[in-house]
Amino acid sequence: MGQLSIHFKKAVIGACTVSTLLCANPLQQAIADVLPRASTTGKPNFITIVLDDMGFSDLGSFGSEIPTPNLDQLANTGIILNNFYAAPTSTPSRAMLFTGKDHHQSGVGNMPTWVRPEQRDRQGHNLAGYEGLLPEYVLPFTEVLQNTGYHNMMVGKWDLGEEPEYYPSKRGIDQTFVLLPGGDTYFLSDAQGKLVTTFDANYYANLGLESPYNQNGVEFKDFPPNAYATTYYTDKTLEILDSRDKSKPFYLNLSYITPHDPYQAPADVTAKYLAYYERGWDVIREERFTRQKQLGFWTDNLQLPARPENVPAWDSLTDEQKRYETKRMAIYAAMLDILDQNIGRVVQHLKDIGEYDNTVIFVHSDNGGPFSAAGSPAYQAYVAKNFDNSYENIGNIKSLIGSSPGWGMVMNTPLNQYKGDTFDGGVRTAAFVHYPQSKISGVKYSGLTSVMDISATILDMAGAQYPYVYKDRPNTPMQGISMAGLFSGQVVSDPERWLAWELDSAKGVRKGNWKLSQKWIPEQNRWDENWYLFNLTIDPFERNNLSTKEPEKFAELLKVYRQYAEQNSVIEISGKIINGDLGGLINSTILSDARITGGTAVNYLYFNQKTTPKTTDLVEVEASIQPAKEHIGLPANIFVQVTYTPPEGTPVKLMFKQDGSATLWDDASILPFFSVSALTKRVPVPIYQGILSLPGKVDILLGYQLSDGTMVKSEKPITITVGS
């Protein structure tokens, strides 16, 4: 035993010297407990606890002031995954968890409500890889685990299909109690036990349902009075654990909606935190960062980055604004407090039924912490009509609020940006794994890990093989890498491993300690298509853009992204939300697989095919050409044809160049807007930005012409009707 202890200590110390582990302080906390443990028989059980929209610093073990002793106990006696990455948003992250593959291979290439025209066929059906759910042709690891002899269970948010054929009960999960959509209210029922929901009547009518909840494949409507989601999910979890097939090892997916909006919590729990958060986000953020240094997440020489530009100084707020923001964060803290208490119930129950020592528990957030945008005018009107977001009512049963930029900044301390971005604030999440039989505990593992690795680890430890064929068609292998070796002290990671992202055009790459990132520009309702390059060794909070100063490294990571996009069949789209599907005809008659999208954004709203701006509005006209496959790589002239019809008068046809010059359009010749030496998979066509001072109707057609005269042209125009 003595020799084993000495050799193991050398292994841990050696790993620390190559920075694979950030060792806890003092060192003995990172040394394995090599004394014999209570023996268990059979295969291990597995639990994945998925938290929803939780920021990197929101747990006590990650620097938070919010009391989370039960989660902290699991983290501090487990292995903290200090470079763990998920997807930028929830649905793709869950698809990656259940398949061990990138979300483009798992049916969620984009968020279901974000799917663009280029990601649909001509009949409006989502293309393969962009279904917005877990398709029947994609194999979840739960089916493999079930075939290996496991009893599988799920409680909480499903978010991967709301039609019966996509229910989790059809995907290898034996017992389920699930919220089918991506979220809903926390106060599930009123005093009479009647369902409370944030969805309008059309949602339920379209599905033929009255409730978003489902139990074992059957609609669930029988709620107790005053049910609160976090507590009720836990009640259901304990019921399912007790009623499972006890002759088999088990897998449990426990997907709380906490702390996703709407922020709601019992008033007495919220009241505990009001005084604390009166000090404001600047002070709270500083304190979290200080605690993170003390916990060993960051070295002492690192400085907390400046407050983001979109966040005002706390002291600049009015007293009324401070009062409202204080309560917003107090509600959030109350939600996490209640969550932690309920996870404590689950852990205690595992101990009570004798399964704790043989259960591997993974805990992670599905993406980074958010801030909530106001939404479209239609959504704002819906909220105003159906909810009461006054100071007195926020946090209660009929309120609907989320985070603000200031508190979102705090949640992700000290990472940059928010949920949705490929900066670390959007994709690097709090995560850890706890296994009482692990030979190491109390450590921070800094090898690059992914949400895809969880299912790979589970199948590895269960002795199951992910098959190469599924439903008589080839099945691509998992992209996740098993972490099972960590539990036996194998702590060396692959320095060449890389991860990459694409969601709704936002892209990112992490390779070694270099990172490419992109972000959302909220004031312009679009993604920033610029690439930002960071050296995380000296700039772990992504503040110093090196994209022009390190051209070779930039090119290396860009090549990695292109490899990722090719491997996962990513459809390239614009960072601007262009909703107009203009089609594409070859030589004005033949339907082409070319896709031309375009539209006009008025005062930075989304780009739509038909708009009606005033002469004082800022308009931006933009298009995107997806050439026919056989035309990619060929030289071409891009053209823009405009028909202007004044309120009273004859239409005028013009053909424009990119410098603004124009000539009359006679249908016989093409004046290039601009030329390209080789068509790429997507050709952006920025047409105009400014004010249209002349009332009337403007119709814009566009396309490209090859050197042999072949012409691909939009079927429908971008139409702008300018009013005075």
Per domain, the residue ranges of the chain are 1-35, 45-488, 498-567, 581-722
All residues at 6 or more sequence positions from 401 whose CB lies less than 8 Å from its CB, including other chains: 261, 262, 263, 328, 372, 389, 394
Beta bridge mates, 506: 503
Beta bridge mates, 255: 50, 156
What's the start-to-end Cα distance of the chain, in Å?
87
Say what the pLDDT of residue 24 is.
36
Q: At what angle do helices 452-462 and 90-99 cross, to 10 degrees?
A: 20
Helix or strand holding residue 338 (H, E): helix 319-352
Dihedral sign for Cα atoms in the order 199, 169, 435, 138: negative
Here the tokens at position 196 are 């409370």
Give me the CATH code for the 45-488 domain, please: 3.40.720.10
Here the tokens at position 263 are 């922020």
Determine contact, residues 103/112, Cβ cutoff 8 Å: no
Say what the pLDDT of residue 667 is.
66
Residue length, the chain?
A: 724
All residues at 6 or more sequence positions from 99 whose CB lies less than 8 Å from its CB, including other chains: 105, 106, 134, 138, 139, 140, 141, 452, 455, 478
- Count Cβ atoms within 10 A of the Cβ of residue 28 and give its class: 0-12 exposed, 13-18 middle, 19 or more buried: exposed
Here the tokens at position 28 are 């003995």
All residues at 6 or more sequence positions from 117 whose CB lies less than 8 Å from its CB, including other chains: 578, 579, 580, 581, 595, 597
- Torsion, Cα of 665, 670, 672, 678 (10° steps): 150
Residue with the two structure tokens 């009241």: 271
Kindly report the number of other CB atoms within 10 A of residue 284's CB atom: 22
Give me the CATH code for the 581-722 domain, please: 2.60.40.10
Q: CA-to-CA distance for 381 and 378, rounded, in angstroms? A: 5
3-state secondary structure of 488: helix
Q: CA-to-CA distance for 278 and 402, rounded, in angstroms? A: 18
- Count Cβ atoms within 10 A of the Cβ of residue 110 and give its class: 0-12 exposed, 13-18 middle, 19 or more buried: buried
Contacts 24+ apart (CB under 8 A), 545-553: 553/514
Kindly report the number of other CB atoms within 10 A of residue 208's CB atom: 9
- What is the pTM (predicted TM-score) of this model? 0.92
Here the tokens at position 485 are 């070796």
Q: CA-to-CA distance for 400 and 423, rounded, in angstroms? A: 27
Angle, alpha carbons 540-542-544 (nearest 5°)? 110
Domain 498-567 in this protein, CATH class? alpha beta
Q: CA-to-CA distance for 639 and 713, rounded, in angstroms? A: 9
Compute mean pLDDT per 10 residues along the chain, 724 residues long, and list them: 30 33 36 34 91 98 98 98 98 98 98 95 94 98 98 98 97 98 95 92 91 97 97 98 98 98 98 98 98 97 95 98 98 98 98 98 98 78 92 96 97 97 98 97 96 98 97 96 95 90 98 96 91 98 98 98 98 94 86 90 93 96 95 96 93 90 80 95 96 95 94 95 90
Q: CA-to-CA distance for 587 and 200, rounded, in angstroms? A: 46
Q: CA-to-CA distance for 373 and 572, rounded, in angstroms? A: 25
Say what the pLDDT of residue 27 is.
32
Q: CA-to-CA distance for 552 and 558, rounded, in angstroms? A: 10
